[in-house]
Amino acid sequence: MFRRPVLSLCAILLLAAPPASWASQVLWMSRAASAHVDSSEVALNASYVFALGAFDSDFQPTISNTSDWAAHWHPLQHSSFRTDTQTFGGTFTAPTNDGILATTNRGYIWGYSKDYPDQWILLGDPTWTWPDTTDSLAFPLQWTVGSAGEVLFGEVDPDETNGYYLKMGTVEDGAPPVTDTEAWLAGFFSDEELADDDISGWDEDPDQDGFTNLVELAIGTHPLEMNVRPHLGDMRIEVDGDHYLRFAMDKDPTAPVNYIVEVSFDRRNWNSGNLFTETLVDSPTQLIVRSIYPMHVLDQQFMRLSVGLQP
């Protein structure tokens, strides 16, 4: 007997647990295509950095103790402000709940400028506590600028009624935190890239722009985006009628590096120190060094920047 085939339709609902890594994640971000301005309501530039982190559990940041913030701050991930999309943010995975990452401790977003150290914003919320890394059924936490119930410094206006979404404040007493090198790397490289020293190692140049990752840290540029060489200004300076080779550059006041300018007369042997160079300016934001030998004495001279991580 011929039997007509029977088509059976079944709807199956699959309930799956989220990936284990989700339980430890914090998605922190601003809103794209919204106005982010400084205290003078000028659009933020690429010198602005936003850091996800925490303060010591026994320290409460307030408007009256800004000078103490940096000493109690623990950055976990950095994000450079992206001028093309007008936003910042990242995905942080908590490796543990020890120390500052205890589930009872709060997280914050601290924004500041490398070029204008008095421009700050600090965002937080009572609900911004670190995820329980043992809760395998948890979904990632989302900490956004708009959900910050506490703006301890600066301003946030989700409706942009005043023409801006986020506005930096001007601090009178305090300095921005020194960049944590591990947090800086984590802000740019994926977990896979961090595990590969050929990509994220300090001596590597993954974007092939001529700057190693260490130099990118020192001059405040993106290690995965081609960067133009920084403007060095006038390469010569006149002193008492003689002309000298000069090296001038902007420094990142938050970078934990030592800047050393070296001079060479053959591009093989490089020297620094009082027998070869004179430092004219060495401030948190600028370095100007000249050769001590006039150009008419040694007309072939070269200068370069050497940077090293502070111990």
pLDDT tens-digit readout, 86-110: 999 998 988 899 999 999 999 999 9
Contact 18, 138 (CB under 8 A): yes
214 lies in some domain: no
Which residues 6+ apart lie within 8 Å of 168 measured at CB? 37, 38, 39, 44, 48, 111, 113, 119, 120, 121, 154
Q: What is the mean pLDDT of residues 221-228?
A: 82
212 lies in some domain: no
Last residue of a domain, one of 149, 167, 187: 187
Residue matched to tokens 């007997």: 1
101 lies in some domain: yes
Q: Are residues 67 and 150 in the same domain?
A: yes
Percent of the chain exceeding pLDDT 90 equals: 62
4 lies in some domain: no
Average pLDDT over the chain, rounded to whole?
88
Residue 131's Cα: distance from chain center in Å? 23
More confident residue, 72 or 254: 72
Range(s) of the domain holding residue 94: 20-187
Residue 302: pLDDT above 80? yes
Q: Are residues 177 and 266 in the same domain?
A: no
Contact 218, 225 (CB under 8 A): no
282 lies in some domain: yes
Q: Per the confidence metrics, is the pTM higher than 0.85?
A: no
* Total domains, the chain: 2
289-307: b or e for each residue (b if 16 or more CB lie within 10 Å)? bbbebbeeeeeebebebeb
Give the per-residue pLDDT at 15.
45
Q: Are residues 179 and 247 in the same domain?
A: no
Q: Are residues 177 and 69 in the same domain?
A: yes
Residue 204: pLDDT above 90? yes
Q: What is the mean pLDDT of residues 183-187?
A: 86
Distance CA 192, CA 182 (A): 14
Give the per-residue pLDDT at 17.
44
Give the per-residue pLDDT at 228.
67
Percent of the chain exceeding pLDDT 70 equals: 90
Residue 297: pLDDT above 50? yes
Q: Are residues 177 and 39 in the same domain?
A: yes
Give the per-residue pLDDT at 62.
96
Give the per-residue pLDDT at 21.
57
More confident residue, 229 or 238: 238
Q: Are residues 36 and 163 in the same domain?
A: yes
94 lies in some domain: yes
3 lies in some domain: no
195 lies in some domain: no
Give the per-residue pLDDT at 137.
80
Give the per-residue pLDDT at 233.
59
Residue 10: pLDDT above 80? no
pLDDT digits (tens, 9 = 90+) for 15-73: 444 454 566 899 999 999 999 999 999 999 988 999 999 999 999 999 999 999 999 99
**Is 37 exposed, middle or buried (CB count within 10 Å of its CB: 0-12, 13-18, 19+)?**
middle
